[in-house]
Structure formats: structure tokens, C-alpha cells
Structure 1
Amino acid sequence: MTVFQEDAVKWLSTLADASVDLIITDPPYESLEKHRKIGTTTRLKVSKSSSNLWFNIFPNSRFEELLNQVYRVLKNNSHFYLFCDQETMFIIKPIAERVGFKFWKPIIWDKISIGMGYHYRARYECILFFEKGKRKLNNLGIPDILEYKRVYRGYPTEKPIELMKTLIEQSSCEGDLVVDPFFGSGAVLVAAHDLGRAFAGSDISNIAHDYYFKRA
């Protein structure tokens, strides 16, 4: 188990070139703060059940340095998944392509139950699917809409472990190194451990570390 409490870009910069088999991550992108301020999501508000101390925004202006590091540390012929909303997708895609990734498509995480919002209430989230080099998915029968119920009463922005297992099983093998530079609730790390992968991650939030170690 390798868990760090450092800025994502700084931490990735300490990893060796072409040393990682798969990266899956969910940065706290700028538009999340916009949704919180206008009240379109209750999960991000400060309350007894949800503290916003974790909510250190990763600005859009830093995505190029982040994606350069992600590309550098990934092995050739590997995959990279990034969770984001529709607004952030249009920012990340051209940057990722510029640093060298091939963009395949947005995979849709269908949360099954309806969420917050004003203009057609949210039920899904995007997972941008990138490739470095050329690698086949392990199971070509998996659809591009993945249905897993959202996690309630957990860490803000928490993702289901079973959803992470699907991505890990698709794009890695036992013993491979799976990395998450914004590990949050730790779902990627827990899923990687359960599937017999090596794993490493970083998050600057004290709350993320507390939450992860309680469940690990």
C-alpha cells in the first residue's frame, strides 16, 4: 500500500517515466465549485454530514501540467480514465490530445437514480477514456454506459467500488500498478487491492486520508 498526501502534479513528478500501468482519477474540477455556489448539489455543502474542507479546487489552468505528468508516467500501450462533468470534458479533451493521448470516447456512468439540478436533473457522469499507444480492452462486450447506483451518505463525490473494478478489469492485469493522484474516498485503491493489483495514490485532503484509512 502506497498512499501520499501531496499535490497531485508534484506527486506524479516523483514517479519514474513509464512506470504505471493504469491511471483512474476524479479531480475536483472548477465547475464543481460553481455548482456548489449556486446550490445545484447538496453533497458539496458544509454541513454536519458534509464538510467542505476537502474541497480544494484543481483549477482548469493546471490541467496541462497534470496531463503531461500523467502521460509521462504511464507505460506505452496503456489506458487513462478521468471522471468529469460535461463542461470540463470540453476543456480536458483538447489538452489531453495535445500532450499525446488518443481520445476514444466519453463513457457514461449512469447513477440510476436522479440527482440535483435545474435544467434536466443530473443522472449521469462522464468518464473520459484515453489511450497511450495501443491497448485492447480485456472484455470487448462491456457497453459504454455503466450502471451503478450512486453512493449515499459517503464521502462527497464518492464513486462505487464496483464501477472502479470494471475499469480496472478492462484495462489492466493482476500485478499491474494502478494509480489515482486524487484518490478522494479511495475507491480506486480499494478496487485495485481487491483485484490483486498494486496501487498508489495521493490526495492533499486530511478528510480523504481519514476516510480512506477507516475503510481500508
Structure 2
Amino acid sequence: MNENNCNLHLGDAVSWLKTLNDETVDLFVTDPPYESLEKHRKIGTTTRLKNSKASSNKWFEIFPNSRFEELLIEIYRVLKKNSHFYLLCDQETAFIIKPIAEKIGFKFWKPIVWDKVKIGMGYHYRARYEFILFFEKGKRKIKDLSIPDILSVPRIHRGYPTEKPVELIEILIKQSTNEGELVCDPFMGSCSSGKAALNLGRSFIGNDLCEEAYEISIERLLLNE
């Protein structure tokens, strides 16, 4: 799908990024289906990541840790100088991504904590947070210095697997872009990032490997659902 301020693609994230020109994106915000999600699903601590009445989605294909370097190389290449990059992940994946991103050239500022407000599932110290890794290419100031590094936004109850609240993504986009700038998400899922970008007057390009996610994203952005 290709509209004036929105371009959606179906396919492998890295292959798609390789088709984009150097330094053409103002902000990356993404939430890859990292390996540890599969571990959580197998032991039954993440019910939303399987077929259920709440979601008809099949379990999406995992993006292996071994591919993060090629992914981050492409994100760095496509991202404009003096721009930001946010990657949502759990604590296990954060330890894997940080050194790879720094080796490629990103400056790592800090992990922002997404407080989901409502407790999740688990066997001990049940999950209520997720990390948003905050990287920078070059140097760019955030807009509002009063925003804390803990963002309390209720998680989505019943929805697309691992769906992120539009309100959460809007905070990141407001902090790191101006109106009219281009936001990119190579793992768009149900396209919360695209919805947030368009709500704020930004342009959006996104991709997903899952055909169902692609179709949901088209409906959500075209029909404003």
C-alpha cells in the first residue's frame, strides 16, 4: 500500500530495508519478534502470543538473535544523521542488542522503562514492564526534558500479539521528530507506530513479514480504525 504519507510493505525486514536509500528516515521505532518471546510462549507465561478467542493470529516468525547485526547495520545506514532510534524488547534481548548497536556506531543513552500498569503473567515476580532501548545517531535533542524515563501506559488487553499502545509510541515520536518527518517501523505488527505517526502529522513507512499483520495495518491506517 502506498498513500501520500504512508507506505506499507510485506516481506523480510532486512531485505526491505536494503531497498531504502541512505539517510532517508528521521526516526526508527520498532518491536522485533525477538527469540525470548518464543521461550515465554513455550512455557505458557505469555498467553497473548498464541491462537485464542482474543486473537486469531498464528504465532509469528521469530527474528533470530543471529540476525540483529545485519538488521542494525541497515537501520543505521537508512537513518538520517542526528536522529533517534527506539527498540522495544525484554531485559534478556537488551543485553544482546546494546553491544551490537554500539559497535555499528549508535550511541546508547539508556533503557526507558515502559510500565504496563497492569501486572502480566509469570511464575515469580510477574512481568509489568518492558524496555525501550534509546539510541542516537549523531546528536539530536529530545523535545521535552520533563518526560521521565519510566512511561506508565496501560498495556493492550486482548489484541494483536505483543500489540503496543498508540499512546506509548506517540510519546517517543513527539520527543524525537517534527511534524512532516518520516517514521519507520520494519516490524510494524498491527501498526501502532504507523497510527501514532499519522496522528501526529508525521509520514510513515512500515513493513511486516506476516500477511495478516500487513492486512490489519492497511485497514487500520486507511479506515482509521
Q: Same fold (TM over 0.5)?
A: yes
Pick from 28, 35, 40 the counterpart of residue 30 of structure 1: 35
Alignment of 1:114-129 (within 5 A): 114-129=119-134
Q: Partners of 1:54 and 1:101 in 2: how far apart?
A: 31
**Per-residue deviation at 1:209?**
1.7
Contact 1:64 1:96 in 2 (8 A): yes
**Match in the other structure for 1:69:** 74
Shift of 1:54: 4.7
Aligned twin of 2:139: 134
Deviation of 1:177 (Å): 0.5
RMSD: 1.0
* Residues 183 and 205 in structure 2, CA contact (< 8 A), matched pair in contact too: yes
Whether the aligned pair in 2 keeps the contact of 1:43 and 1:156 (CA below 8 Å) is yes
Aligned length in residues: 216
Could you tell me how far 1:211 is from its partner in structure 2? 2.1
Structure 1: distance between partners of 2:38 and 2:56 = 14
Percentage identity across paired residues of the two chains: 68
Paired residue for 2:3?
none
Question: Any runs of at least 4 consecutive aligned residues in structure 1 with deviations exceeding 3 A, and if so which?
Answer: none
For each residue in 1:72-101, what CA deviation from the matched residue of structure 2 results, as whole angstroms up to 9, or x when unmatched?
A: 000000000000000000000000000000
2:170 paired with 1:157: no
One-letter amino acid of the counterpart of residue 23, structure 1: F
Aligned pairs for 1:1-216 (under 5 A) are 1-216=6-221
C-alpha displacement of 1:52: 4.9
Q: Which moved more, 1:202-211 or 1:178-187?
A: 202-211
The TM-score, its normalising length taken from structure 2, stands at: 0.94
Which blocks of at least 5 consecutive residues in structure 1 are unaligned? Answer: none
Distance apart, 1:142 and its partner CA: 0.5
Q: Is the 8 A contact 2:83 2:137 kept in 1?
A: yes
Q: Which amino acid aligns with 1:78?
A: S
**How far off is 1:210 after superposition?**
2.5
* Aligned counterparts of 1:45 and 1:69: Cα–Cα separation in 2: 30
Deviation at 1:214, TM superposition (A): 3.0
Gaps of 5+ in 2: 1-5
d(CA) in 2 for partners of 1:111, 1:5: 29
CA shift in 2, pair 1:54/1:200, >3 Å: farther
- Counterpart of 1:160, as a letter, is P
Q: Contact between 2:87 and 2:132, CA under 8 Å: does it hold in 1?
A: yes
One-letter identity of the residue aligned with 1:197? R
Deviation at 1:152, TM superposition (A): 1.0
Per the alignment, do residues 51 and 59 of structure 1 end up closer, same or farther by CA in structure 2, a change over 3 Å counting? farther
Distance 1:213 1:54, change over 3 A: farther
Contact map agreement 1:54 1:208 (CA 8 A) in 2:
no
Helix, strand or coil at the partner of 1:207: helix
